[in-house]
Amino acid sequence: MLEEKISIVTVSYNSAATIACTLDSVASQQGVDAEHLVQDGQSTDGTNDIIANYEQVTFFCEPDDGIYDGLNRGIANCTGAIIGLLHADDFYASPHTLQKISEKFAANPDLLGLYGDLKYVSPHDVEKIVRYWKAGNFMRAKLHLGWMPPHPTIFLRREVYDELGGFDTRYQISADYDFILRLFQTFGDKMDYLPETLVHMRTGGISNAGARNLLKKSTEDFWIALRAGYFAPATVLLKILSKLQQYSHYSR
């Protein structure tokens, strides 16, 4: 079976405290043809100096209009047939994570995308699991109920991004939710679930940074769900409630 190159895109901005862990995570992947592109929004805290130590990383440093604009720029520069996204404070669960992804795509040429589970870890102790996001199998009816898989666990063939047009940068916090709804509405039947943890994410991201951001995220989610044709109040409420079980249902 022919395995294809995987491109991993990381967007960074003042990420000096965590970027080395992310870079090491990708660099340590075994048994796979992978490239790592880092799109930095002109950091001022030494992030760029850290990235410069990794010769295997393709590095772009330029102003952008936020994380989703940065992701769109990074995706445009990818050369791999399969694209994954890894945030600057995330890391893969295993040195064989990308190998498993590559083998799944190679075994099924008709497959357009894969996703899996994610564990949230403490930013002060990455061995301490705080939440477990078990995505579960896709069913179209779940989209009405606020279902979405963890964004960093999604791997897609390049043509999916060509078809969907990337992230809608009108949304500053929830463009990933908008993209995922469009993705599963259009290509859900050609997506597959890998029932294991693929990514570890440190808690404390932008969407959870204070009440104002939480309100903005919920507002963006509302309009995204409404435009997708769902009863937005119920969809957004169920989306929020689904996070509660992530705290009580995890395995170490």
Question: Could you report the per-residue pLDDT of 81-111, keeping only the tens digit for each?
Answer: 999 999 999 999 999 999 999 999 999 999 9
- CATH number for the 6-248 domain, one of 3.10.290.10, 3.90.550.10, 3.30.1490.20, 3.40.50.1000? 3.90.550.10
Res 211: pLDDT: 75
**Span 216-226, mean pLDDT?**
96
Res 252: pLDDT: 43
Q: What percent of the chain has pLDDT over 90?
A: 89
Mean pLDDT over each residue of the chain, to the nearest integer: 93
Res 204: pLDDT: 76
DSSP string, the chain: -----EEEEEEESS-TTTHHHHHHHHHT--SS-EEEEEEE---SSSHHHHHTT-TTEEEEE---SSHHHHHHHHHHT--SSEEEE--TTEEESSTTHHHHHHHHHHH-TT--EEEEEEEEE-SS-TTSEEEEE------GGGGGGT----GGG-EEEHHHHHHHTS--TT-SS-HHHHHHHHHHHHHGGGEEEEEEEEEEEES--GGGSSHHHHHHHHHHHHHHHHHTTS-HHHHHHHHHHTTHHHHHS---
Res 210: pLDDT: 61
Check whether 209 has a pLDDT greater than 80.
no
pLDDT tens digit sequence for 115-161: 999 999 999 999 999 999 999 999 999 999 999 999 999 999 999 99
Average the pLDDT over each of 25-39, 171-185, 210-224 and give the range with the smallest value.
Answer: 210-224
